[in-house]
Amino acid sequence: MRALALTIHDDTQLVAEPPIPPIDVAMFWFAHMLSPIRYNDDMNRLFGAQILDVAFPLERMAHFLCSGTECPASQEFWSTRVSRTMPCDAAPWTTDASVPLHVVCPKCVLAIDPDTDAYLRFRFNGQLIKCDSCTTVFSINEVSARRFLDELKAAVAKDMPFTALPGVHIDPKTRVWAVENGAADLGMLLGHKSWAPLLTGNGSEGGDSKLLTWEAIASAAVRPSFNATKSKLKNGNLFRSMLASYRDFATGPWSMDLVQAVLRQREFTHKMAATEYSDRTRRIATQATVRYHKLMLMLAKHRDMFMVPTLDIDLAWHTHQLHPRRYAAYTFEKLGAVLNHDDTIESPRLKEGFTKTAHVWSEMFSEPYACDAAFRGFWTASKVATATIAAPVMLPLLMRRASKHKSAVNEQGGCVALPAADVTPLHLRNAFAFRPRPGANLVSSSAKERGSRSVNAATNHDDSRLDPRVLPAYFYSSCAVTSSFFSDAVCAGLGYPDLGNSVGGVATCGAYAPAGCGAAWSLCSTGMSGCGGL
């Protein structure tokens, strides 16, 4: 991102046609964009607002991945601007051999180089590490707390507006980034006497050998300073936003844990691969784009309601966020604030929100909220035959079961976070692995074996037998390649939604076509008027 930000100042053509990144870099960039508020904050702080004009090169990347060819211009950009030592086509599963994993001791500040498995257990499972120099034993809690204090000291030394600190400059109401946002509040909070010992100390609690933890920072400084100044603050969530940008991840300039973000997208991509979406991509693209537009209409009318999207709407929403400037402009214009996408919400709240969303949707549009693709797999040929032959007896029973199946599937709509704990190193090594559809890029064996694969393809999560050569192509064939049709649909302009029926229901166009009627163009092409510091 740094290389791209520096280059677009000299070559503005890269804004419209950015270089295609390696597959592992692309997955992190993709996941970062799906947290639009954090992405906006990070890009503005670190690189300047111009980089927000760069959209994810979704269609071009899908084209090169599916054709099995390389982009010479992108490879040249990587070798000359990014890294001369690591090749652009380095496989994600071999980078741990060439990229050392450092952990800085929070006591003596010595860089420790644990092996990959030890680092992953430290990073995700809370395992302790012992410093080789000072023999201090510490966890990710102490390391991330020390990192926070070090960066806070550096920012205070430079004085306001604290532009190096993440989570500070987002307006709490409009979610627009601006330098002046939060600076005065943070200056007031850090000026409280409770912060003085921490900002002048050496990273230990009370000056002794005990390392500072997040709990100690909260009790010693965060709560006292907030309670003393909360009546004067414009943003009461400033501390929460800033501390969330540091807690429990120890390195990197970003305001969020990108590794966990990529893992959460693995869950979403698995859901997409388990449906029949990729077989009906163009119809789903039309349907989901219209339904996504309808959800925006609902949000505009019920701005305080917590709404949860179905799987197809969520995919359209993801695709819209891959155009950060346009997404911010569109949601700001329609909703009065940049719409955040939070995929860290716990499952119970998602289920409750989904139920309420379905109820409001039904009242507003007089149609079911669940997408039809959610339970197509339930109606096998045998069930259809049984329901037809023994209709009076079996049809009501099967309809009830289908309804339950549909509800169960659609409760998984939205983005359900993966568990944060007990992630094994093997799980993390296979974090980017998905089982491809039967017969695609796999060495064929017997018909019986292929049939077995077909039955288990949608539910099998064991990636240990997956051919590494198909990993990049499969990720994008199940998610990004599907999304590329959403880019076509959105940018073509599908017209205004038919309020009666959203299944292919574009009132003026009727179905997907390369040239639409233009009324939905604002999804990707709205200008930036009124968006302040974006």
Print the domain residue range for 107.
103-244
Mean pLDDT over the full length of the chain: 72
CA 22, CA 82: separation in Å to the nearest integer? 11
pLDDT tens per residue, range 248-296: 888 889 999 998 898 888 878 777 766 655 556 666 777 788 889 999 9
pLDDT tens per residue, range 63-93: 888 788 889 999 999 989 998 777 787 665 5
pLDDT tens per residue, range 26-45: 989 999 999 999 999 999 99
Of the three residues 214, 244, 274, the one that is the final residue of a domain is 244
Of the three residues 219, 244, 269, the one that is the final residue of a domain is 244
Of the three residues 196, 211, 244, the one that is the final residue of a domain is 244
Q: Against a cut of 0.85, is the pTM above it?
A: no
Higher pLDDT, 469 or 268: 268
Q: Do 383 and 517 fall within a single domain?
A: yes
Residue 10 lies in a domain: no
Neighbouring CB atoms inside 10 A of 169's CB total: 25
Q: Do 398 and 487 fall within a single domain?
A: yes
Q: Do 387 and 500 fall within a single domain?
A: yes
pLDDT at 281: 64
pLDDT at 274: 65
3-state secondary structure of 313: helix
pLDDT at 532: 29
Q: Which helix (H) or strand (E) holds 112?
A: strand 111-112
CA 100, CA 112: separation in Å to the nearest integer? 10
Q: Do 348 and 404 fall within a single domain?
A: yes
Tokens 């920012």, residue located:
155
Q: Do 179 and 221 fall within a single domain?
A: yes
Residue 5 lies in a domain: no
3-state secondary structure of 138: strand
Residue 23 lies in a domain: no
Residue 29 lies in a domain: no
Residue 24 lies in a domain: no
Residue 49 lies in a domain: no
Residue 89 lies in a domain: no
Look up residue 18 and give its DSSP letter. Answer: P
Q: Do 295 and 436 fall within a single domain?
A: yes
**Encoded amino acid at 193, one letter:** K
Into how many domains does the chain fold?
2
Q: Do 236 and 345 fall within a single domain?
A: no
pLDDT at 62: 84
Q: Do 343 and 429 fall within a single domain?
A: yes
Residue 54 lies in a domain: no
pLDDT tens per residue, range 180-235: 888 899 999 999 999 999 988 765 665 556 889 999 999 999 999 999 999 999 88
pLDDT at 375: 42
Q: Do 268 and 207 fall within a single domain?
A: no
Q: Do 218 and 275 fall within a single domain?
A: no
Q: Do 207 and 336 fall within a single domain?
A: no
Q: Do 262 and 233 fall within a single domain?
A: no
